[in-house]
Amino acid sequence: MIDQFNSSFYFERRWFFSHQHYVEENMGGVIFYSIQPYGRKHYKLYKLSNKDRCSHRQEALHDLVRHVYMEDEESIVFHRVQFLKATELTLWCGCNYSTAVIFHHIICLTQLTNLTINWGVFCFDQLLELLSITLNIQTLKLYSIRLYQPNPISIQQTEFFRLVYNGNKITSLTISHICSLDKYELLVTLCPRLQYMILNISINDLESIIKLLLMKTNANIRHLFSLCLLNATTKMYQILKIMIDSEKFLDNYSIKLAHQKLYLWW
């Protein structure tokens, strides 16, 4: 079918087309799309179907893609398309995400500025390894994070931790799932240049985590100036305001509760 669009009429207008076969939830599908001049800025790598290896598949002209989504390990290994100008990467569940495979076959990791990991079992060691070769990341979004080492101090003494701590440029951090205090402590320590955070905090942990983030003696958050709490309630708003005023954490600040989000900036 794609051969019908390989004619002078389309070539003169620089209308190039390609197609992508994929398998998702045991069902096959195909995407037929223009790749120039109105190319896709977002590209999702699916698990390939056998049809995707046909001889007429066009691999070129992915220069316009800026955001790449990787769904599983097979989608990474078998794709040979390179997204040389991509600056955003989203990793989904069901993959071990070998950084060597990603680096050699898909994307230039040093160009990335935005990294999203939507995988609840992604562990802190994996995150350190990935961030150690993506040191230009400015925005980091995590669904959650796992710790396999019970001692946070031993984690901070690892080579990967020191490398990421000294070199990363992360200024914005989002954690969409509720995490424990020790995980927040590690992430805040790892990213000393944080300016903005979006967190999902339970009301039981609210006071301890807010103390961690607002204590003036904590040098790791000296650049932080804005905080957003997800799934917030009126009670959380009241607790937070009383804490700030009674403990004198902040001199000048604004606080607002809207659409189950609690905004705090100073």
Task: Mark whether 226 and 164 lie in a shared domain.
Answer: yes
Task: Mark whether 95 and 128 lie in a shared domain.
Answer: no
Q: Which has more confidence, 147 or 50?
A: 147
pLDDT score for 28: 75
pLDDT score for 242: 95
Give the pLDDT mean for 234-260: 95
pLDDT score for 40: 65
pLDDT higher than threshold 70 for residue 73: no
pLDDT higher than threshold 90 for residue 226: yes
Read off the pLDDT band of 35 (50, 70, 90).
low
Task: Mark whether 79 and 166 lie in a shared domain.
Answer: no
pLDDT score for 151: 78
Task: Mark whether 186 and 93 lie in a shared domain.
Answer: no
| Residue 251 three-state SS | coil
Residue 10 lies in a domain: no
Q: Which of 69, 94, 109 is the last residue of a domain?
A: 109
89 — phi, psi (to 5°)?
-135, 130
The candidate with the shortest Cα–Cα distance to 145, out of 165, 128, 164, 166, is 128
pLDDT higher than threshold 90 for residue 34: no
pLDDT higher than threshold 80 for residue 114: yes
Q: Which of 68, 85, 109 is the last residue of a domain?
A: 109
Read off the pLDDT band of 64 (50, 70, 90).
confident
Q: What is the torsional sign of CA 249, 250, 256, 259?
A: negative
Task: Mark whether 162 and 63 lie in a shared domain.
Answer: no
pLDDT score for 216: 79
Task: Mark whether 96 and 124 lie in a shared domain.
Answer: no
When divided into structural domains, the chain yields a total of 2
Residue 11 lies in a domain: no
Q: Residue 183 sits in which domain range?
A: 113-266
Q: Mean pLDDT check: name the lowest of 52-61, 110-119, 142-151, 182-191.
A: 52-61
Read off the pLDDT band of 24 (50, 70, 90).
low
If you search the block for the tokens 């316009």, which residue do you land on?
64
pLDDT score for 65: 86
Q: Which has more confidence, 261 or 34?
A: 261
Task: Mark whether 132 and 221 lie in a shared domain.
Answer: yes
Decide: 213 and 227 in contact? Cβ < 8 Å: yes
Residue 123 lies in a domain: yes
